[in-house]
Each structure stands twice: as C-alpha cells, then as structure tokens.
Amino acid sequence: MARILLTNSEATPGVGKAAEMLAAGAGGLDAIEAGIRLVEADTSIRTVGRGGWANLLGEVELDAAMIDGNSFRSGAVGAVKGFLHPISIARAVLERLPHELLVGEGAARFATEIGAETTNNLIEDSERVWREWFEQKVPAADQEKWPDVPLAELCRQAIDPEKGMDTTVFLSLDSSEEIMAGVSTSGWAWKYPGRLGDSPIIGAGCYADSRHGAAACTGAGEMAIRAGSSRAIVLYMKMGLSLEAAMDEAIDDLRQLRGGLLQRITLHAIDRAGRHRVVALNAEKQLTYWLWREGDEAPHAEPAEIISL
C-alpha cells in the first residue's frame, strides 16, 4: 500500500510541505494541518484564509474541517472571523471537545481559549474589491442606512469575483495505512453573513474511512451539501464499487438536483489501494490538481477530468 497525497490547485503553497512530511513518516492529520496552514497564510490564494473574499458586509468568514478515517472523529468550524488558521481550530475541536462542529461566536470563543493566532483576514485588495461592489451595486438609499438593510436580494444578485469559489482540499494515505482528510475555505464571496458551505459539513465537503477511501469537494458547496457528495463516494466504495464507479454514482446523484446553485463542483477521491480520481463538473476551463505518491521526489500537477452535468 503506497502512501499518497491528493490536493487541488489552491493547495500550491502547502502541498510540498505535506508531501515531505508524509514521505518522512508523519501521520496524515499532521501533514494535512501543516500543509493547509501554509495555504491559509498565503494571501495569493484568494479563496482560503487570509486574503479570502468578504461576505456581503465586507467581513471575511472562514470555514475548515478535518476527519480521522480510523475513528470517524471530526472537527469543524464555520463562519469564524479574525483567526489566521481555522484548520488548527478545527483540529482542536476534534481532539479537545465532545463536539464535531462549532460556528460563529462559539468557535471564536473556543479559538481564544486555545490561544489560536488572531489576524485581520481582510487584506487591502479584498477590501478594495468589496468596496467597488458596494459602491456600484448597493442602492444609494441602502448605502446611507448600511448595514441595517435587507441583504437577501443583494445576495441573489451578487457575482463572485472569482467563480472558482474553491476550498483547498487535502486527502492522504499515510505510512500507517490511515486515511485522513482536511479542508479550509473563505467560502463564496459576497455570501449572506453566517452562510456555511460544504467545507465544515462532514460528509458533504469531506469524508474519510481508512477501510475504503476519502473524498472532498470544491466549488458550489450547496450542491455537495444537498447530495452528501463526499460521504456518498466513500459509501459507494464501501458497497463494493470501484473508485471510478463510486464517483460516477455520486455524479449521477448530483444530476438529480433541481434548482439552486447548479454550478461547477469538483470531486476528489482516493481509495485504500492508493488510486485516485479528480472530476470537474461543468468546468469552463481546464483545472489541475496536485498528486504525490510514495517514491515521487515532489508533487506534480495533473489535469482534472471534465464532465458536464
């Protein structure tokens, strides 16, 4: 059984570190957390951590999750503001609390309790882009009363400045034959305050089972939530389907959705034998992902398979 690390392109700042750690014998959770922390701190990755896009109120809200494929214990946080590494807060939830998910003020309280690093995640360029949207799209009457105005219609009309909306995802099979998963994101730009995507929802944004495999999703998280896509892929493998067939079934589940955010979503998966597959649905351009296998000198980029729903 060969060690493997699978990530999406947003993982570029951290995939090398995670692969290096796995090659040295580190456990999957340690490698994933270390890799994602580097992504969260890199302001060139505009959909994760510091530098992520703001919500409708001009605030950066972050989501993250980790899951242990042996115990099925998970830790997740959602709508966290003012902390640099939501992935580490999520891991602390996994290891220190009897809960699986904390959100908003509760997550911030816990982050403070464990001494998590604070920061202003709204960098100058993100604030500039939000300000341009605000001045161009928010009616003058609402600007005068801001933020005490209805937001629902603004949310429906808002256009994400970066259509990818991409979480960073890390899936690993380590030297102990354990399968782990972790994700982190700033979510959909101009989202309604408090919106959670699939990332902090275990079974939607990511799932792992050391007996069978792991999966994670990026893109329009509402789709993955409705279809339970990550859990579905792993469950189909548990039922005896191959990795490829399991993903085909999960894609068919997504095809059955009607209404809502039927936009692009990308599915990533590995199995216990070290096989992998990445499928981008409705992609407008070629997407790539990072792959590292035991024996590789470094991770290398591969093109994702593209399928239209």
Enzyme catalytic residues: 167
Q: How far apart are CA 128 and CA 134, in angstroms?
A: 10
DSSP letter for each residue of the chain = ---EEEEEGGGHHHHHHHHHHHHTT--HHHHHHHHHHHHHH-TT-TTSSTTPPP-TTS---EEEEEEETTT--EEEEEEE-SBS-HHHHHHHHHHH-S-SEEEHHHHHHHHHHTTPPB-----HHHHHHHHHHHHHHS-HHHHHHTTSS--HHHHHH---SSTT-PPEEEEEE-TTS-EEEEEEE--STTPPTT---STTSBTTTEEEETTTEEEEEEE-HHHHHHHTHHHHHHHHHHTT--HHHHHHHHHHHHHT--SS----EEEEEEETTS-EEEEEES-SS--EEEEEETT-SS-EEEEPEEE--
